[in-house]
Amino acid sequence: MTDIFDDRACELGEGPFWHPERQQLFWFDILGNRMLSRGPDGQVSWEMGENASAAGWIDRERLLIATENGLFRFDLATGSRTLLVSLEADTPETRSNDGRADPMGGFWIGTMGKAAQPRAGAIYRYFDGKLERLFPEITIPNAICFAPDGRRAYYADTPRQRIWTVALDAQGWPAAASEVFADLRGEAKYPDGAVVDAQGALWVAQWGAGRVVRYLRDGRVDRVIDLPARNLTCPCFGGAELNKMFVTSAWVGLKDRAAADGQTFALDPGCTGLPVPRVQI
C-alpha cells in the first residue's frame, strides 16, 4: 500500500534521508532551492538560495548539505551554514545532484550540467576534510549507495541506462575498476536514485516509469512497486524500525502533470533498511 507522505509538489524532489537521531525525514526540491522535512510539528522547509540536492547528518542539530557550489555544515535550529569545501564553485553551469553518506563516514556527491550537458559532471567523495574526484565525465549521476559492509558502492549515469558497482577498500575508496551491475537499455528504463536494504539488495527509482525496482545482489530483478507519480527520483528507508520506504518524485518536464507528480510517498517495502551513517567532518 502506498500513501502520500507529503503533498508538497516538488519541481525536482531528490535526496531523501532518514535522520536516525531525530527520527525525521529530510529531502530537497533542487530546482525550488529548498530543503523540506516533515516531523512531529508537521511540514517545515528551509530556503537554500541556490540548488541543493543531498545531505547527511553530522549530529542531532547539524547536517552536511550539498549545493551547486559546495558542501556545507548546516544548523537546523538557526538556518546558518558554514562552507566545508567548494564543489565546482568555479563552474556555474553545473550543480550537485545525487549523494549519500557512506558507511566509513565519508560522503559521495555527484555533479551535472544544469542543462544535462553530456558528461559535464563527476562523482566525488568527501572524506577526512578533503574532496576527491572518483569518476569523471558523468552526465546525470544517480543511484549512489553502498553495500551493508561498506566494501562495495553503486552508482549510475541515468542517460546511459546502466548501474555500475565498484569494490571499496577498508577506508571506502575504490579498489578496482567499475563493473556493470544492471543494464536497463533493453528495457528502455532510466535509473535514478537508489538505496540498499539490510539484505544487500538494491532498490532503484526509475525516472519516467513510475516504479521502484528491487535488484538482488547478483543483479536479478526481484520486485517491482508501482507508484502514482511518473518521475520517481529516489527511495530511502525510515521509520522507527526502518521498515518504511519513502520515495521522492518530480514534475519537471511533464506536460500532462498529474496531482501526484512531485509529491513524496511512503510505502511498505516488505523488508528493512540500514541506518544512515554519520558523516565525519
**For every residue of the chain, which 3-state class applies, written as one string?**
CEEEEECCCCCEEEEEEEECCCCEEEEEECCCCEEEEEECCEEEEEECCCCEEEEEECCCCEEEEEECCEEEEEECCCCCEEEEEECCCCCCCEEEEEEEECCCCCEEEEEEECCCCCCCEEEEEEECCEEEEEEEEECCEEEEEECCCCCEEEEEEHHHCEEEEEEECCCCCECCCCEEEEECHHHCCEEEEEEECCCCCEEEEEECCCEEEEECCCCCEEEEEECCCCEEEEEEEECCCCCEEEEEEECCCCCCCCCCCCCEEEECCCCCCCCCCECCC
Q: Which residue is catalytic, options 6, 29, 98, 192?
A: 192
Annotated catalytic residue 41: no
Catalytic residues: 192
